Amino acid sequence: MKKMLILTICLVAAVAVWAQGLETFTNYDYTGTNYVDGNFVGDGGVTWNYFHVTGSVAGDNDNSIDGNGMVLRRSAVPSRIVSGTIPNGIGNFSVQMRKAYTSVGDRQLALYINDIWVADSETFGGTSGADPTIRNFVVNGVNVPGDFTMEIRNIQGDTVNRQVTIDNITWTAYGSGQQFVANPTFNPPAGHYGSAIGVSISTTTEGASIYYTTNGSEPSQSSTLFNAPINVSTPTTIKARAYAPGYEPSAVVVAEYGFYVYVSNLSELWQQNADNSTVYHIPNSVILTFKQNNRNQKYVQDAGAGILIDDQAGVISTNYQVGDAISGLTGKLNMYFETLQFLPTADPGPAESSGNDIYAPTLTIAQLNSDIGVNRYQSRLVRINDVSFDSPSGNYATDPAVTYAISDGTGAMSFRTSFYDVDYIGAPMHSGQFNIMGIIAHFQSTAQITPRMLADFNPVSNEDPTLSPAQVSLIGNYPNPFNPDTTIQFQMVNAAPAHVTIYNQKGQTVRNFVVQASQGINNLHWNGMDDSGTSVSSGVYYFRLKSGSYSSTKKMVLMK
């Protein structure tokens, strides 16, 4: 890439700076196929990828800029150019743009750096007819260091032609000219929450002022000045930019906030709408029964149900092990054929506990087949006794998955090798009768079972203590943070006395509860008051459950 001294046209500052790059496009003819979804080297030496919608391609730069330029045609794909890797970072950016062709409709460009949206240009060219005006799309304070890629998209017009000619792309090196204000940061960070929050915005640049918007517009110094936490109680997008005397303004930073729906357990989750839109939060713990590399899938269950976590994007970064208790799952529901998938939107963080027992109910094939549409056992670990393959031969195979017919005295179902990394693949198939454990799936109105490991064939008896559910479990509290009420949840296999104590950070007792807990999930309400009926102050509190020899403590936050 050439490095040269140019005069960058800057509508905002109108000052001369050292240019990191200049790209011009000298009358390329896009009527051919060389540059339709192809690569080329621009005049500034950068390799570009040119992506275009299907169909006829705009011609030889009608209404070009200084006799040159490149035409971006439609927004449906969208028509765009994407650079190869460019070194030395980017400070400011500008490109010239002009209406190409006379059709009616707005034109608009967008700038992306490293696949992240930075800014949209103004809209122009909406009326029918030619428009000779050359416009400048200028973004100051992009402020991305190191190697980067640049993308310019046509974002107006859908499948209708809204051609835009672009030329003279310029950018300055990171740190060129005046220093940039450090980008704003948000606290709490963008994400989904269980109740209204106050969002603070800050920058590390001393003396900087931050301006923000919540209506989708780009923030400027005429926008709202941040001086107090922003109350967010409905889904909100906050855009912020920081300014300081003697500095280039920061980049526009965007934070999107939403609110999740609380569900107490997996059985309740199964009753929700799988719209791939609503975000659900499960404060109570679930136990990991199996995981595989394929799509980062994980199977979890609690006392009432199981579910498949399909995490193709790798949102969950914590490395869990089978038997880990995971609390705070957050994500969306999606129905894939007959399988309910949980699509995580956040990493729950470290396991609440490890080495937990996993309970696998003993069922018959008839019971599993009758569960189609009821979904008590889909994605759960179960046990079937006295099964046999109809025609065992050779070794277990997979990739793609193989389906084998299996039966017991009550009916027949499918045994499917849909877990690719397990240790029985390549081992000889079992003959005669045997017992089996595995994860249940539903496909085309039939039940399927897939063992997790070779040890799931002829497993130890369900009466063995290693397969018994925990007798007592402190699940957690929700909402958390809370104001002023929260619900503490714990699980009991058998009814028994339970003692819940709430402490402050100094270890002083705030509130005592002694209850006769019932079998199953127990809910204990705390109204934020101490034993004397006085409201306690904001802060971190701890709650401990004791029942028999069991004792466990968790943290909660009261925010007023």
Compute, in degrees rounded to 10, the torsion defined by CA atoms 169, 175, 179, 180: 60
- pTM value? 0.56
| 105, 130 contact by CB (below 8 A) | no
Residue 367's H or E segment, with its range, is helix 365-369
Residues 420 and 398 in one domain: yes
Q: How many residues does the chain have?
A: 560
Single out the residue in 111, 145, 172 at which a domain terminates.
172
Is residue 7, in this structure, part of any structural domain at all? no
Residues 406 and 476 in one domain: no
| The two three-digit tokens of residue 178, written as one number | 């005046």
Rounded to the nearest 5 degrees, what angle is found at the Cα of 251, between the Cα atoms of 147 and 144?
A: 10
Q: Are strands 47-51 and 80-83 parallel, antiparallel or unpaired?
A: antiparallel
Cis peptide, bond prior to residue 78, ω within 30 of zero? yes
Single out the residue in 114, 142, 172 at which a domain terminates.
172
Our count of domains for the chain comes to: 5
Using CA atoms, how far residue 444 sits from 58, 279, 375, 441, 447, in Å, is 47, 28, 14, 10, 8
Residues 204 and 65 in one domain: no
Neighbouring residues of 67: CB distance < 8 A, sequence distance ≥ 6: 27
Q: Please report, in tens digits, the pLDDT of each residue of the chain (560 residues total).
A: 323 222 233 333 333 333 467 777 765 544 434 445 666 677 677 888 887 754 444 444 456 666 667 788 765 556 888 999 999 888 888 888 888 777 778 889 999 999 899 999 988 888 877 787 888 898 887 888 889 999 999 888 656 667 888 888 888 888 665 567 888 999 998 889 888 899 999 999 999 999 999 999 999 999 999 999 999 999 999 999 999 988 878 888 889 999 999 998 999 999 999 999 999 999 888 999 999 988 999 999 998 899 999 998 888 999 999 999 998 999 999 999 999 999 999 999 898 888 888 889 999 999 999 999 888 999 999 999 999 999 899 999 987 889 999 999 999 999 999 998 899 999 999 999 999 999 999 988 889 999 999 999 998 654 433 333 346 788 888 888 888 889 998 888 888 888 999 988 777 889 999 888 888 888 899 999 998 888 998 888 889 888 887 778 888 888 87
Residue 12 pLDDT: 32
Is residue 10, in this structure, part of any structural domain at all? no
Say how far apart CA 249 and CA 203 lie, in whole Å.
11
Is residue 311, in this structure, part of any structural domain at all? yes
| The two three-digit tokens of residue 18, written as one number | 């050292």
Say how far apart CA 179 and CA 203 lie, in whole Å.
14
Say how far apart CA 89 and CA 450 lie, in whole Å.
50
Q: Residue 323 is which amino acid?
A: G
Residues 138 and 44 in one domain: yes
Residues 46 and 160 in one domain: yes
Q: How many CB atoms lie within 10 A of CB 316?
A: 21
| 253, 189 contact by CB (below 8 A) | no
| 437, 451 contact by CB (below 8 A) | yes
Order across the sheet with 236-243: list the strands: 191-193, 253-259, 236-243, 209-213, 224-225
Q: The domain spanning residue 76 has which CATH number?
A: 2.60.120.260
Q: Residue 520 is which amino acid?
A: G
Compute, in degrees rounded to 10, the torsion defined by CA atoms 234, 557, 286, 322: 120
Say how far apart CA 180 and CA 145 lie, in whole Å.
12
Residues 332 and 239 in one domain: no
Radius of gyration of the chain (CA): 30
| The two three-digit tokens of residue 388, written as one number | 């046999």
Say how far apart CA 92 and CA 19 lie, in whole Å.
9
Q: The domain spanning residue 458 has which CATH number?
A: 2.40.50.140
Task: For residue 268, give the 3-state DSSP assignment.
Answer: helix
330: nearest Cα among 522, 526, 479: 479
Range of the domain at 273: 261-344
pLDDT tens-digit series, residues 251-296: 888 899 999 999 989 999 999 999 999 999 998 889 999 999 889 9
Residues 266 and 324 in one domain: yes
Residues 250 and 272 in one domain: no
Is residue 294, in this structure, part of any structural domain at all? yes
Q: Give the bridge partners for 474, in sequence order.
A: 490
Single out the residue in 280, 315, 344 at which a domain terminates.
344
| The two three-digit tokens of residue 209, written as one number | 């002022």
pLDDT tens-digit series, residues 325-349: 998 999 999 999 999 999 999 999 8
183: nearest Cα among 192, 174, 191, 170: 174
Neighbouring residues of 428: CB distance < 8 A, sequence distance ≥ 6: 394, 395, 396
Say how far apart CA 70 and CA 84 lie, in whole Å.
17
Task: For residue 345, give the 3-state DSSP assignment.
Answer: coil
Residues 158 and 45 in one domain: yes
Is residue 1, in this structure, part of any structural domain at all? no
Say how far apart CA 318 and CA 498 lie, in whole Å.
32
Is residue 132, in this structure, part of any structural domain at all? yes
Cis peptide, bond prior to residue 481, ω within 30 of zero? yes
**What does the buried/exposed string (b/e) look like for 490-505 if buried means 16 or more CB atoms within 10 Å of the residue's CB?**
bbbeeebebebbbbbe
Centroid of chain to Cα 139? 28
Q: Give the bridge partners for 394, in sequence order.
A: none
Residues 38 and 160 in one domain: yes
Tell me the helices (H) and strands (E) count for the chain, helix number first.
2, 39
Q: The domain spanning residue 534 has which CATH number?
A: 2.60.40.2550
Residues 489 and 442 in one domain: no
Residues 436 and 506 in one domain: no
Is residue 444, in this structure, part of any structural domain at all? yes
- Sequence-ordered strand ranges (E) for 325-410: 325-326, 329-336, 339-344, 381-389, 403-408
Is residue 302, in this structure, part of any structural domain at all? yes
Q: Give the bridge partners for 415, in sequence order.
A: 404, 449
Per the prediction, the chain carries an average pLDDT of 83
